[in-house]
Amino acid sequence: MEAARGLLIEAGPQAVTLKAVAGRIGRTHANLLHHFGSASGLQRELARHLAETVCATIREAVIASRSGIGSPRDVVDLTFDAFDKEGAGALASWMIVSGNEDALDPIVDAVHDLVIDLDEFGSGTQRTTTLALTLMALGDALLGGPLSVALELPREAARGRAEQMLVEGLLNAGITPVQPQ
């Protein structure tokens, strides 16, 4: 998975092929074909791996934020970076365009499990905030650069708005975010 992730980050989702990953890890195309069944199987497993890794990191950031160690901005930055720098946005888009939409299930499931785990108050606010934050991060990964230029806004404008939205969502849920010193 780390070899596939490296290819995703370096060259984009189209570079994540059975042959390329096999070459990186010193295996044959047939080895990976046997293990994953197809390129879509590899992409699905990569999506699952990314989702689990990113959600674990975000879970830690949320817990840190709630205890006053971290901040809502940390959660925003991790989410945006997952879709942009870590390649999850490009991978998700590639899978949709190539008709491999069911490969998104592990991402959706991991986000669902994260929200259920962290939603200690059973509030719909955290769910709608998570939906908006995830969609903003995905959109920013795909169009944020050119769109911020076209609108004459700083590149970080969407992250700032996402942070504001997250803080408002926390306040609406009765959680006062603590800003670290």
Scanning the chain, the segments in alpha helix (DSSP H) are 2-11, 18-25, 29-36, 39-66, 72-83, 88-97, 105-118, 124-139, 145-150, 157-172
Residue with the bigger pLDDT between 74 and 103: it is 74
* CA atoms of 49 and 25, how far apart (whole Å): 17
Mean pLDDT of 150-164: 95
pLDDT band at 145 (very low <50, low <70, confident <90, very high): very high
Q: What is the maximum alpha-carbon separation in the chain?
A: 54
Query: Please, what is the angle between helix 39-66 and helix 29-36, to 10°?
Result: 70
Mean pLDDT of 22-45: 87
The chain-wide mean pLDDT, for the chain, equals 84
What pLDDT shows up at residue 112?
83
Q: Are 142 and 97 in contact (CB under 8 A)?
A: no
Give the rounded percent of residues in the chain with a pLDDT score beyond 90. Answer: 22
Mean pLDDT of 93-108: 80
What pLDDT shows up at residue 175?
72
* CA atoms of 36 and 20, how far apart (whole Å): 14
pLDDT band at 120 (very low <50, low <70, confident <90, very high): low
Mean pLDDT of 96-119: 80
Number of other residues whose CB lies within 10 A of the CB of residue 96: 12
Contacts of 45 (CB under 8 A, 6+ apart): 1, 4, 36
pLDDT band at 178 (very low <50, low <70, confident <90, very high): low
Q: What sign for the dihedral angle of Cα 32, 38, 44, 50?
A: positive
Three-state DSSP state, 75: helix
